Structure 1
Amino acid sequence: MKKIIVITTGGTIAMSENKDSQGVKPRDPKILESTLPMLSHYGDVHMEHLFNMPSPHITPHEMYRIAKEAQQYLDQPEVAGVVVTHGTDTLEETAYFLDLVINSKKPVVVTGAMRSLNELGADGPYNLVNAVRVAGDERAADFGTLVVFNDEIHPAKTVTKTHTSNVATFQSPALGPIGLITKKEIIFHRTLHREKLLPLHSPVHQVVLIKAAAGMDSSLIEWTIEKKVDGLVIEAFGQGNLPPAMLPGIQKALDRQIPIVLVSRCYNGVVQDTYEYEGGGKQLKEMGLIFSNGINGQKARIKLMLALQKSCDPRQLQSYFQI
Structure 2
Amino acid sequence: MQRPRVLVVALGGTIAMTVDQTGRVTPSLTAQQLVDAVPGLADAGLDIDVLSFRSQPGASLTIADIIELYGEITRRLGGGLTGVVITQGTDTIEETAYLLDLLHPGPQPIVVTGAMRNPTQAGADGPANLLAAIRVAASPAARDLGCLVVLADDIHAARRVRKSHSTSVATFVSPNGGPLGHLVEGSAIIVNRLPGRHTLPAPRDRLPRIGLYTATLGDDGSMMEGVARAVDGLVVAGFGVGHVPEPWLPALTTVGARIPVVLTSRTGSGPVLAGTYGFPGSESDLLGRGMIPAGLLDPYKARILLMLALAAGRDHEQISAAFAAAGGLGPVTDWP
State the secondary structure of the residue aligned to 2:54. Answer: coil
Q: Which moved more, 1:166-175 or 1:218-227?
A: 218-227
Amino acid at match of 1:259: P
Amino acid at match of 1:24: V
- Offset of residue 311 of structure 1: 2.9
- Is structure 2 residue 127 aligned with structure 1 residue 108? no
CA RMSD of aligned residues (A): 1.7
* Counterpart-to-counterpart distance in 2, 1:308 and 1:210: 18
* CA deviations over 1:125-155 (Å, ceiling 9, x no partner): 1100010100011011101101000011000
State the secondary structure of the residue aligned to 1:89. Answer: helix
* Counterpart-to-counterpart distance in 2, 1:36 and 1:232: 42
Q: Which moved more, 1:175-184 or 1:240-249?
A: 175-184
Runs of 4+ in structure 1 displaced over 6 angstroms?
none
State the secondary structure of the residue aligned to 1:215. Answer: coil
* Counterpart-to-counterpart distance in 2, 1:188 and 1:123: 22
Gaps of 5+ in 2: 329-336
Q: Which residue of 2 aligns with 1:63?
A: 66
204, 220, 223: which one aligns with 1:220 = 223
- Offset of residue 161 of structure 1: 0.3
Q: For the structure 1 residues 178 and 28, does the alpha-carbon distance in structure 2 shift closer, same or farther, using more than 3 Å as the test?
A: closer
* Counterpart-to-counterpart distance in 2, 1:286 and 1:140: 41
CA contact (8 A) 1:71 1:103 kept: no
Q: Which moved more, 1:238-247 or 1:179-188?
A: 179-188
Alignment of 1:1-323 (within 5 A): 1-17=3-19, 21-29=22-30, 30-35=32-37, 38-42=40-44, 43-76=46-79, 78-201=80-203, 204-227=207-230, 229-255=231-257, 257-273=258-274, 274-322=276-324, 323=328
* CA deviations over 1:13-56 (Å, ceiling 9, x no partner): 100245x8552212242532423674333310111111111110
CA contact (8 A) 2:39 2:127 kept: no
State the secondary structure of the residue aligned to 1:232. Answer: strand
- Offset of residue 192 of structure 1: 2.5
- Offset of residue 225 of structure 1: 3.2
* CA deviations over 1:252-303 (Å, ceiling 9, x no partner): 2123x21100111122321112211111111101100000122211111011
Amino acid at match of 1:216: D
Q: How many residues align?
A: 319
Q: For the structure 1 residues 241 and 5, does the alpha-carbon distance in structure 2 shift closer, same or farther, using more than 3 Å as the test?
A: same
Q: Which residue of 1 aligns with 2:331?
A: none
- Offset of residue 237 of structure 1: 1.1
* Counterpart-to-counterpart distance in 1, 2:39 and 2:256: 56
* Counterpart-to-counterpart distance in 2, 1:288 and 1:75: 43
* Counterpart-to-counterpart distance in 2, 1:200 and 1:59: 14
Gaps of 5+ in 1: none
* Counterpart-to-counterpart distance in 1, 2:181 and 2:35: 27
CA contact (8 A) 1:174 1:268 kept: yes
TM-score, normalised by the number of residues in structure 2: 0.90
TM-score, normalised by the number of residues in structure 1: 0.94
CA contact (8 A) 1:86 1:112 kept: yes
Q: Percent identity?
A: 38
- Offset of residue 175 of structure 1: 1.7
